[in-house]
Structure 1
Amino acid sequence: MGTIGFVGAGNIGEPMVERLLAAGHAVRVYARRAEVRDRLRAAGADLVDRVRYVAACEVVVSCLYDDAQVLDVLPEVVREMKASTVLVSHTTGRPETLTRLAPMGKAAIVDAAFSGTAEAVRAGRLTVYLGGEPEPVETAREVVSAYADPVVMTGARGSALRVKLLNNLLFAAISQVTLRGLKAGRAMGIEESALLDALAVGSGGSSAGRYITARGGSERYVAAVTPFLRKDLAACRETAAELGTDLAKLLAAACDGPMNLDNFENGVIR
């Protein structure tokens, strides 16, 4: 495979670039922060000062934060990409955003929503969902396999984002229940760390419990994940409304708990 372009070298994107370089790929990166550029240049990446300069690459990977960044940054890239190239979008957001992006150019677009942390990327164990046409999806699979395992094919473009939004909706609900359980444990005189250790090997355990432990407890966990879950639940609510799907009960479960998730960025739960 030729040079891979990369946009969005943040907390998750930077280790993705590192894994791509370690796998032997040539990587051309557009990054805004000077310290990130310096680290990735030292690691062997080719740094460019204009985002459109990544468009000449055979594959462009985008790991931008949200839909607003996608629509702000990527049109300039998509307009200059060739029909034979592939854009792999890791952003968790609305499938409709990629639908708006696609007519701006000729490149194939694959939605590649992921589940996991920067530590999972560094270990090569990030979970990535891929949605799109078979040939571009296979190209995307070859690229993301540098940092992802498993890679799950979900169907047509947009399906990976819908899977991820539902995943995060369920994760938010489970997180709220787990946080309530930890609060109940403290009221019953049980140390939070002791209860988390017990849940880790018990039937009441979950990925939420593991993440709370990894973050160092409920307070740090809530501070870290609330902005991301609020953003993703807003996208989930909007996507469900566009599809005519009733998610009211699931959204209510996701918002009922210690995390303040009902104050969405783009409105409140209805």
Structure 2
Amino acid sequence: MSTLATIGFVGAGRVGEPMVERLLAAGHRVRLYTRRAEVGDRLSAAGAQLVPAVRDIADVDVVVNCLFSDAQVLAVLPEVVGAMGERTVLLSHTTGTPATLSRLDQFSPTGKAAVVDGAFSGTADAARAGRLVIYLGGEPEQVATARQVVGAYAEHIITTGARGSGMLVKLLNNLLFATIGQVTLRGLEAGRALGIDDSALLEALSVSGGGSNAGRHIAALGGPDRYTATVTPFLRKDLAACQEMAAEMGLDLSALLAVAHGGPMDLADTTTLENGAVR
């Protein structure tokens, strides 16, 4: 693949849209499938080619999937995988389970889909600034192809091993983020009981041993309430995926999951965002 690629894209949601913007700014050609007219209008004005059917994104160098959930992946991507050329790589940014990626193989004409899992860490603002963290798992040649694409919106690109390993790294990262976030929120509750303002304790934590990335996010978002509202929907989905992955692999994550589910954030509800709609 040349440095500049033709890219098919599906999933131009909160993070996917700035990904497309960065890809276009880097000079890549983007074929975009979206059901949301307002997103299509904005991105076509930026240079994306809108296509009427999702299979129309398949005849490219790299297909980028930024759908929200496993359910969306299995509803949308089989048609794409079935239409992909021999040299096309599917880069999947969806955080779900490795088993879902394996299920895509049955739709490939070759019996093994050329999939690189590229789970990511970061926000829409991070994507817009080119500062996402991407975990890439897959065959070395396919990972090298994916790396040339994600460089448009990622600051840190970490190769994790075989296909599915990037997703496992992301799931463990988010499980730890949830546990540390719950513990930090408990600490802020204790501080308030002692008459310490959240802002003062968060400032202290930012330069002290009890600090964490979760604490910095709480401070940056303006306190526990906004933090909880922002991260809860995503952590609910990812913790559900962690539980499913652990069950599939016979892994005992009960101690960490107990902490993740035992704090001020209600992470037990696994309802997904946008009711599973394709973005």
Instruction: Tell me, in whole angstroms, the C-alpha distance in 2 between the residues paired with 1:103 and 1:140.
Output: 22
Q: Distance in 2 between matches of 1:254 and 1:233?
A: 8
**What's the TM-score once normalised by structure 2's chain length?**
0.92
What's 1:40 paired with? 43
Q: Which segment drifts farther, 156-165 or 212-221?
A: 212-221
Partner SS state of residue 79, structure 1? helix
For structure 1, the residue ranges without an aligned partner over 5 or more in a row are none
CA distance in 1, matches of 2:157, 2:264: 32
Q: Where in structure 2 are the equivalents of 1:244-263 lying within 5 Å?
A: 244-263=250-269
The Cα of 1:148 is off from its aligned counterpart by: 0.6
In the alignment, what sits opposite 1:99? 102
Within the candidate set 20, 23, 36, 2:23 is matched to: 20
1:31 to 31, 34, 58: 34
Residue identity opposite 1:192 in structure 2: D
1:118-197 to 2 correspondence within 5 Å? 118-197=124-203
User: CA–CA distance in 1 between the matches of 2:255 and 2:91?
Assistant: 32
Q: How many residues align?
A: 266
Deviation (angstroms), 1:83: 1.6
Equivalent residue in structure 1 for 2:68, among 65, 68, 83: 65
Q: CA offset at residue 217 of structure 1?
A: 1.3
Query: Please, which moves more after superposition, 257-266 or 131-140?
Result: 257-266
Relative contact order, CA 8 A, sep 6+: which one is greater? 2
1:208 to 214, 218, 234: 214
Whether the aligned pair in 2 keeps the contact of 1:6 and 1:27 (CA below 8 Å) is: yes
Cα-to-partner distance string for 1:37-87 (whole Å, 9 max, x where unaligned): 111011111111211110111100000000000011111111100121100
**Most deviating of 219-228 and 59-68:** 219-228
Task: Give the distance between the partners of 2:81 and 2:260, measured in 1 at CA.
Answer: 35
CA distance in 1, matches of 2:117, 2:47: 27
For 1:49-60, what aligned pairs fall within 5 Å after superposition?
49-60=52-63
Corresponding residue of 1:4: 7
Moved more, 194-203 or 240-249: 194-203
**For the residues of structure 2 that align with 1:41 and 1:243, how far apart are their CA atoms?**
43
- In structure 2, the gaps of 5 or more residues are 273-279
Q: Does the 8 Å contact 1:112/1:131 carry over to 2?
A: yes
Deviation of 1:233 after TM superposition, in Å, equals 0.7
Superposed CA RMSD in Å reads 1.3
Q: 1:227 aligns with which of 233, 237, 255?
A: 233
1:190 offset after TM fit, Å?
1.6
Paired with 1:111 and 1:164, the residues of 2 have a C-alpha distance of 10
Q: CA deviation at 1:194?
A: 2.0
In structure 1, C-alpha distance between the alignment counterparts of 2:36 and 2:199, rounded to whole Å: 37
TM-score, normalised to structure 1, is: 0.95
Residue 209 of structure 1, CA deviation: 1.1
Q: Aligned letter for 2:15? A: I
Q: Is the 8 A contact 1:234 1:265 kept in 2?
A: no
Could you tell me how far apart the structure 1 residues matched to 2:246 and 2:160 are?
18
User: Per-residue CA shift, 1:71-119, capped at 9, x if unaligned?
Assistant: 1111111110012110000000011000001221144000000011111
State, as a whole percentage, how many aligned pairs show the same letter: 68
Q: Distance in 1 between matches of 2:34 and 2:65?
A: 11
Structure 2 distance, partners of 1:205, 1:21, is 38
Q: Which amino acid aligns with 2:160?
A: T
